[in-house]
Structure 1
Amino acid sequence: MSENKLRVHWEGSQLVHHSLALVNREICTRMMSDPSLDLGVIPYETDPNFPVDERLKALQSRIVPNGGSADITVRHQWPPKWTAPPTGKWVISQPWEYGAIPRQWYIPMKYWVDEIWVASSYNKECYVRCGIPQDKICVIPHGVDPSVFHPEVPAIELNTNKSFKFLFVGATIFRKGIDILLEAYASEFTSADDVCLVIKDFGMNSVYEGQTSAQQIRDFQKLQTHPEVLYITSHFSASELAGLYQSCDCLVHPYRGEGFGLPILEAMACGTPPIVPNMGSACDFCTEKTAFFVPSEEKTYPSMTKIGPYDLIDHPWWIEVDRKELRRVMRRVYENHSLVKEKGMLAAQDALTKFTWDDSVARVINRLKAIATEQHRERKTVNTVIEEELRHAVELYLSGAPSKALEIFRCVLEKDPLNVTANYNAGILYVFGNNFRQALEHFVTLTNRIDDRPDSFRGQVWSYIGLCHTQMNNYSAAMAALDTGTRLSPDSLPGAIRCYQQILRGIEQTEDAEHLLGELYHRLAIGYFTLKNELRAKDMSELALKHEPNRDDFKHTHQLIQQKISITKETYEKVLAGTSHHRYGLIWRSPVFNGSGYAEESKSFLMALQQHPVEIHLVPIDGVPNTELTPSSERTLLTNMLTPLSQQPIIHLQSCPAYQFELPRAPISIGRTMYETDSVPETWVERMNEQTEIWVPSHFNRDTFIQAGVDANRIYVMPGALDLAKYSPETVEPYALDTKKSFRFLSVFDWSLRKGWDVLLRSYFSEFRADEDVCLVLKVVSLLDPNARPREEIQNLTQKMGIPHVPEVLILDNALTEEEMIQLYKAADAFVLPSRGEGWGRPYMEAMAMQLPTIGTRWSGQTEFMSDENSYLIDIDDVVPVSEKMPYYEALFKGHNWAEPSESHLKSLMRYVFEQRNSARQVGVKARESLMLSFSRDKIGSLLFNRLEELVRRHYT
């Protein structure tokens, strides 16, 4: 062979009866004639009965018995082989029909293979969705042999008298959609119809043997009312198969998954148009002119994690056709013979001019030559790959994709089963998914691998082991592991306390573990005392002594707790009597710097308490803080509050969603929280009932929380506050807006369906014309859904509404300081927000403080300060279930209801405020006056302090 030739080895089946071998034969026999290639083939299976003609004898002569060296090795075989070839570059031609790829493929495909070939764009898209870089994937469609498959091929005789014949060709397996086809066919046609479904089953003597629907098809044939089915299982040569296509009128292939769908293309080449899903591989070579599309959607199978022997990187997904639409299309085809013929002619023309094996081979050779000229990339070592993938997994988790992160950790464990980082993080993510048995396997694997790690890390591992045993009701094992965990890592104590609480609840339902009660209560007493929650510690200590009154260690613990309570009581009795200037020690835990509603409210509360004898230690929980949003004077005060207390805290106040509540770290605990629907998540209730008191902003939340199971005696209504000196319409300069319209509606919200942006925009677009002197200014953030695309969704809405010219909308999605936000309110003429539910509705309050006529929904938290006298309340059409489209629906909103604001009423209110501006301004003036009476910073500051003092008095006098 010439030294200048490109040496290519092609590994995979050749002379056997299945589709991969067919593709290999068609490509390799044509590649042999290219003088620039030195082709060797490496088959790994043979069929001694396979017919071999002169062309295939020439292919046999290219077999490389011992491999040898090559410039490029192409592998197209099943199962795939992931060992790198000894020399040269490496191409994998690998179809996959189930969406999510096998886990063991991920690292080789991503890092070690030089290029991946697939036969369809959809297959490429699926690989990319699984994390394979798209620039490594090349689409090389399959083809047909025009000398065999063409419209002039003679039809074969079929054993049927029916004049119209549907055809299915392929293995009759679930993936190919044969069950869907039979169901649609039986539902739409009867034995009286002049129609026959011809099924050519390729699965009987193939890798699908034993998996086909042969029995179901035969049972189908037995029912006399069913339309006719002709079932063929005998072997067909290529020319006989072409004759079969020619003898039928229309191919039907409602596949769930296909790497390419070669029978579809072969049928088209013979002039037989197909019925196919409007998604997936066939869309690369089928068009509306050449095929009949059936509306379809992707369907994920969450109960499945494996395909055959393969663990998948995610749940598999398939294409599912609309079954009613499939029936409709089949009926339409049956009744429109001329349309079928017309599409068939166009299909043949398309297939034979664009999708032949010569076209495929040309693409193959072009790619081989391009690969040969590319710089050789050193394959990364396993250790380097693992390090990169661990970083990638952490990035995925931090970006809000925990399930994808878990799959990466599992892929790493395929290569390094004892990897500490992957096991630890996989265990944590399984815990988050409530899969405690699998989590436990990972943590137990670690116990023999971390002796040289810091005690804090080892303690965390043992604490997670305790958590898993707790959830699995293995109480003795749980307590032993938790004991080890807290001994090694005191920071794991809060988690251990929650486990002990759960074990207590479990023991109440069984008699097997009553002997553990005394020890459990004692551990809880010590835990609470360590967290400085002495009152709760006292309750637990008394229960421990009740079960085991003679334990000296229990008595000693109880004595220590009583002594501490006496000291605290003595201190605060003097404060309450006015004989001591000792300030109340308060831990305040909340967001303060991230611009959220909780953060803005907490800043108002903290500033309001500055005039009272309270020493505050601030614990911010902002996630990603942006301190620039806070005025510098307030920022200085808040920064000073970060200093630890000079005394033991008497009160621990947390202002945040209740799922973020920590165990109280003071004798008196307050949880400030709110919710926007008619209930709260079930997991929140227990966290709230751990607090001494729950402060809600509105009577609406008081009622919804009690209904959800929160102890009514713990709930106290504490309204929100606003610094009305800042929100001063007389002194603030307006924000510069990029609009020439003189009337500006303003809306401020997180881009979420709960905020009713869809209701607002539909109402605005249908009520106002593009030529009216009006602009809707949207100040939006994307806190709940960081992937939200407001501009794109607005464009989609206008297209759906069919409005070519819409009134002006100005979107502001940049971060604004508090001062700039107040200026933005000043720049507006009215505020509007048709929210479906609010815990409080701070933007309404801010707008009203700036004397804006304010339009809001007549439901939920904002009705605490909005009325028909000081605002414009939108009637609701109904209280309806929360949309399943909400992010985190299952965890946060399932079973909840919210309001559906009336679009017609909203439109009339917006029109009224726009046209009756003087009257609307007077309502805005009343709005500010009403806030000054009840919600000023000084008034709410006094309410806050008085309530704190009342709680101390109640518990220590």
Structure 2
Amino acid sequence: MAGGPHLPAPDAQNPPAPDAPRLLAPAAGAGPGAWQPPPLVYRGFFLNGSGYGEESRGLAQELIRRGYALRVDPVGPADPAALGPPELAFWQGLAAAPVDPARAVHIVAQPPGMAQRPAAAPWAVLRTMFETEVLPREWVQPMSRFDAVWVPSEQNRQAFVAAGLPGDRVRVVPGGVDPDRFRPGLAPLPLPMRRGFAFLSVFDWQYRKGWDCLVRAYARAFGPEDDVVLYLKVTTSNKPVSPEAELAWYLRAEGIAPERMPPLVLLTRPLPAAEMPRLYASADAFVLPSRGEGYARPYLEAMASGLPVIGTAWGGQADFLTPETGYPLRIQGIRPVPRYEPLEVYRGLRWAEPDADHLVDLLREVWNNREAARQRGRRARQQVVERWSVAAAADRLEAALRDLVEESGEYGRSGREG
């Protein structure tokens, strides 16, 4: 195991993928035909490296390019480790854009437990997601004050409706990634202990992500003589933990001797968002046996990068991860979240349990049949380009926005109870 390798700064030979501000000048003649884009106030995590932040920045830049007047309302502190000073300054500057909140559509991109309709918003949309079979029911009433709730996947739509939200209020508006940023052929990062074949997993260090299942399956699938390495690129945004200490404890508890398995490398050092495409370019395959995902952004980033992807066949990724474009991982069933889950928000709910035996088989299949895996990765990228790009996501958001304004009237719900 190894943590926190040195990652070099971008240079002329290894340029980063394009930053968001470079795309934000409105295109000539922008605007979707006769449709007059309403002004927008977009509240979200614009200043950090979270999945919510990545999606919000990508969609906002595309909407501005299409001619929308847009003001951002940043939530939370800025994270200089994820965004450089020019990009932070850009998004902070958009907080003063000349948009009248009393005449705008408000898009609130936050987790459902934080959802509060902006006061006096003529229209208000909640862009949100969650990771379990159903939501806590105490979240339903605050969410019902929104004119619409947009979720990224069919599994999320079912979970929100099952919690009590009206079905006609919840709409699937899938997200997307930028296939020009995440693409094959980028210069890889110089990762430590590189071997002939590299699996990569990207996630926040928590039980939901299934890292325990992945480590156990990896130790069963390969031995120290196999020319393979597994990289775990992790963050710890949800709780102050030591991934190194928890991983060492887990290996001891499972009786897994590190010297009897191939390298498993923890990458814990913060990585700027502009360098993430090069991380995917450093791997041969992506794997994440998550117990629950709302959006599943890392899967799409890996697919856009042309990697074969192993992922749980339940949750947000089930909308796009198919046997033709990836390696869906069977589940053993929908299980209660264990009582020892440290994040209270999940306790008492249910999520999927990935099939560890099937994961062993899939790891070996990808490793043994590399050309077939590469072909599947190429098909996955093509699918992202055609259906799961930021531009495609903006098309779907724009259609939902048009329906909202045309159906709800001049003042929407004006904050009335659902």
For the criterion TM > 0.5, the same-fold answer is: yes
2:270 to 786, 799, 815: 815
Report the equivalent of 1:604. Answer: 58
Mapped pair 1:858 → 2:313? yes
2:360 to 907, 910, 913: 907
Alpha carbons of 1:619 and 1:646: their partners in 2 closer, same or farther (altered >3 Å)? closer
Q: Which aligned pairs between 1:185-334 and structure 2 lie closer than 5 A?
A: none
Q: 1:576-607, CA deviations, whole angstroms, 9 ceiling, x for partnerless residues?
A: 9959x7x5221111112221111111111112
Question: 2: CA distance between counterparts of 1:684 and 1:625?
Answer: 27
The one of 840, 847, 855 equivalent to 2:295 is 840
Are 2:47 and 1:593 equivalent residues in the alignment?
Answer: yes
Amino acid at match of 2:70: I
Aligned equivalent of 1:704? 159
AA aligned to 1:780 is V
- Are residue 777 (structure 1) and residue 197 (structure 2) matched? no
Deviations along 1:648-695, one digit per CA (max 9) or x if unpaired, are 332111001122222333111100111111011222111111100000
1:831 aligns with: 286
Aligned partner of 1:677 in structure 2 is 132
Instruction: Pick closer, same or farther for the CA change 1:943–1:610 going to 2, 3 Å.
Output: same
Give CA-to-partner distance per residue, 1:237-292, whole Å, 9 cap, x none: xxxxxxxxxxxxxxxxxxxxxxxxxxxxxxxxxxxxxxxxxxxxxxxxxxxxxxxx
Structure 1, gaps ≥5 residues long:
1-574
Q: Distance in 1 between matches of 2:280 and 2:324?
A: 21
Among candidates 242, 263, 285, match of residue 789 of structure 1: 242
Distance change (3 Å), C-alpha of 1:631 and 1:716? farther
- Are the aligned partners of 1:609 and 1:944 in contact in 2 as well (CA < 8 Å)? no
SS in 1 for 2:69: strand
> Which letter does structure 2 place at the counterpart of 1:870?
T
Q: Counterparts in 2 of 1:300-699, with a 5 A limit?
A: 578=34, 584-622=38-76, 624-630=77-83, 635=88, 637-647=90-100, 648-665=102-119, 666-699=121-154
Q: How many residues align?
A: 376
- Letter of the 1:760 partner, please give it: L
CA contact (8 A) 1:693 1:714 kept: yes
SS in 2 for 1:584: coil
Which one has more relative contact order, counting CA pairs under 8 Å at least 6 apart? 2
**TM-score, normalised on structure 1?**
0.38
Letter in 1 for 2:168: N
CA distance in 2, matches of 1:702, 1:907: 31
Q: Which residue of 1 aligns with 2:392?
A: 939
Does the residue aligned with 1:885 lie in a helix, a strand or coil?
coil
Q: Is 2:369 the counterpart of 1:916?
A: yes
Amino acid corresponding to residue 686 of structure 1 in structure 2: Q
Residues 232, 264 of structure 2: 8 Å contact kept: yes
Displacement of 1:644 after TM fit?
Answer: 4.5
Following superposition, the deviation at residue 789 of structure 1 comes to: 1.7
CA gap of 1:845–1:631, structure 2 versus 1, over 3 A, is farther
Aligned partner letter, 1:737: L
Question: Taking structure 1 as reference, are residues 733 and 632 closer, same or farther at Cα in structure 2, changes over 3 Å only?
Answer: farther
Q: Post-superposition shift, 1:860? A: 1.1
Structure (1 or 2) with the larger CA radius of gyration:
1
CA distance in 2, matches of 1:693, 1:797: 43
Unmatched tracts of structure 2, length 5 or more: 1-30, 411-418
Do residues 751 (structure 1) and 205 (structure 2) align? yes
What amino acid sits opposite 1:822 in the alignment? P
Which has more helix, going by share of residues? 1
Q: CA deviation at 1:942?
A: 2.3
Distance 2:115 2:303 in 1: 31
Q: What is the distance in 2 between the residues matched to 1:846 and 1:714?
A: 29
Q: State yes or no: 1:867 paired with 2:315.
A: no
Contact 2:110 2:127 in 1 (8 A): yes
CA contact (8 A) 2:81 2:270 kept: no
Q: Which of 699, 702, 724 matches 2:179?
A: 724
**1: CA distance between counterparts of 2:51 and 2:99?**
30
Contact 1:608 1:940 in 2 (8 A): no
Counterpart CA distance in 2 for 1:576 and 1:920 is: 39
Matches of 1:744 and 1:655, distance apart in 2: 34
Partners of 1:609 and 1:632 in 2: how far apart?
A: 23
- SS of 1:629's partner is coil
Whole-angstrom CA distance in 1 between matches of 2:49 and 2:200: 18
Q: Distance in 1 between matches of 2:59 and 2:79?
A: 19
Distance 1:633 1:933, change over 3 A: farther
C-alpha separation in 2, matches of 1:939 and 1:767: 38
Tell me the CA shift for residue 818 of structure 1.
1.7
Secondary structure of the structure 2 residue equivalent to 1:820? helix
**Alignment equivalent of 1:887, drawn from 342, 346, 366:** 342
* Aligned counterparts of 1:954 and 1:802: Cα–Cα separation in 2: 60
- Is 1:954–2:397 an aligned residue pair? no
**Aligned mate of 1:798, from 251, 273, 276:** 251
The whole-number CA distance in structure 2 between the counterparts of 1:577 and 1:944 is: 16
Q: Is the 8 A contact 1:587 1:649 kept in 2?
A: no
TM-score, normalized by length of structure 2?
Answer: 0.85
Q: 1:909 to 1:576 in 2, by over 3 A?
A: closer
- Identical columns (%): 36
Query: Whole-Å Cα distance in 1 between the matches of residues 99 and 48 of structure 2?
Result: 28
Q: Give distance in 2, aligned partners of 1:636 and 1:888.
A: 33
Task: Give the distance between the partners of 2:313 and 2:153, measured in 1 at CA.
Answer: 14
Q: Distance in 1 between matches of 2:307 and 2:79?
A: 28
Structure 1's 861 and 740: CA in aligned 2 closer, same or farther, altered over 3 A?
closer
User: Contact 1:876 / 1:902 at 8 angstroms: preserved in 2?
Assistant: yes
Report Cα offsets for 1:784-817 as digits up to 9, x if no partner: 222x221112212222232332320111111111
C-alpha distance in 2, partners of 1:646/1:693? 21
Q: In the alignment, is the contact (CA less than 8 A) between 1:612 and 1:945 conserved in 2?
A: no
